[in-house]
Amino acid sequence: MELLNDMALFVEVAKAKSFRGAAEIIGVPNSTLSRRIASLEKTIGLRLLHRTTRRIELTEAGLIYFERCRRIVDEAKLAHEQLGEMLEQPSGLLRVSFPAEFATGYLMPIISDFAEAYPGITFDFELTERVVDPVSEPFDVVIRFGEPEISHLIARPLARLQPYLYASPSYIESHGALDHPSDLANHECLYWMKDNVWNLGNGDRNAEVEVKGRFRLNNVALIRGLASLHKGIALLPEEVVADEVAEGKLLRVLPEWSGAPMPFFAVTETRLLPAKTQRFIEFLKARLK
């Protein structure tokens, strides 16, 4: 049991790349942590860490040991938690990274309902559009549109959201109505960075249009906001613009045409998930459907 405990401590130090950082996460004194890792290295007979004044790095042996230990520790934690579930509901701190605008504009009621269903769970949320790696950052799950950009992660599909074309009534009045997707080439379009080719479909008809515009963005809120302020045509999921459509700020353009479905994923470091994370992913998937 002592060896397993030391392996778990080593995994935390390797993840944090710092004794101090790992000590703060797991609540073990820095001196104790350093002593236990030194004892583990002595038992194994190999140095696992290169220590410097600012941070630590894994040796070649440490890297191999970390990959093996991480799976063993995850399995042990999961087994312990699954037994605990027989006695009580999932609990603990759940750390999640969300795409900012989609979380505040659409997921908030779902998150609220989940919190009501599992009162033993506390939450630490980050809202951001940046690429997040749950291996090197302290997140249990990362919620994102599109396939994960980091290949070694586990992506679980939650839903596929259908995007449509939207513009403000004032924009259409001043720039003219559209009859076909090819007309987009003559309009101001609000598009995602490096994604200025829109593939649209209408039943068995397809159109590929290279769009242009003064604004290239990497934030859904900005795209939606600028469209509401008459700056161009946006291609967004209807869930994101539901309020603006209801208020008359935006209307659907070429309503019979839609973009390619946008996959929505829960991304984790491993398939071995604690109950709090597993329940959260299951809850999101059920509600998003």
pLDDT tens-digit profile of 48-95?
A: 888 876 778 899 988 998 888 888 888 887 777 766 664 467 888 999
What distance in Å separates the CA atoms of residue 81 and residue 90, rounded to the nearest whole number?
8
pLDDT of residue 99: 81
pLDDT of residue 24: 85
Average pLDDT over residues 24-32: 85
Whether 130 has a pLDDT exceeding 80, the answer reads no
Residue 150 confidence class, pLDDT cut points 50, 70, 90: low
Cβ atoms of residues 271 and 184 within 8 Å: no
pLDDT of residue 188: 95
Q: List phi, psi (to 5°) of 245.
A: -65, -45
- For 67-100, b/e burial (b = at least 16 CB within 10 A) is eebbeebbeeebeebeeeeeeeebbeebbbbbbb
Given the DSSP bridges, would you call strands 189-192 and 233-237 parallel, antiparallel or unpaired? parallel
Tokens of 282: 């299951």
Handedness of CA 238, 239, 240, 245 (dihedral sign): positive
Q: What is the pTM of this model?
A: 0.61
Taking the CA atoms of the chain, what radius of gyration do you get in angstroms?
24
Q: Which of residues 195 and 202 earns the better pLDDT score?
A: 202
- Percentage of the chain lying above the pLDDT 70 cut: 94
Given the DSSP bridges, would you call strands 49-51 and 56-58 parallel, antiparallel or unpaired? antiparallel
Residue 183 confidence class, pLDDT cut points 50, 70, 90: very high
CA 97, 98, 104, 106: dihedral to nearest 10 degrees? Answer: -140
Q: In order of start, what are the domains of the chain with their CATH numbers?
A: 2-84 (1.10.10.10), 92-160+263-288 (3.40.190.10), 163-260 (3.40.190.290)
What distance in Å separates the CA atoms of residue 193 and residue 196, rounded to the nearest whole number?
7
Whether 125 has a pLDDT exceeding 80, the answer reads yes
Whether 18 has a pLDDT exceeding 70, the answer reads yes
Residue 200 confidence class, pLDDT cut points 50, 70, 90: very high
**DSSP reduced 3-state for 139:** coil
Average pLDDT over residues 141-166: 82
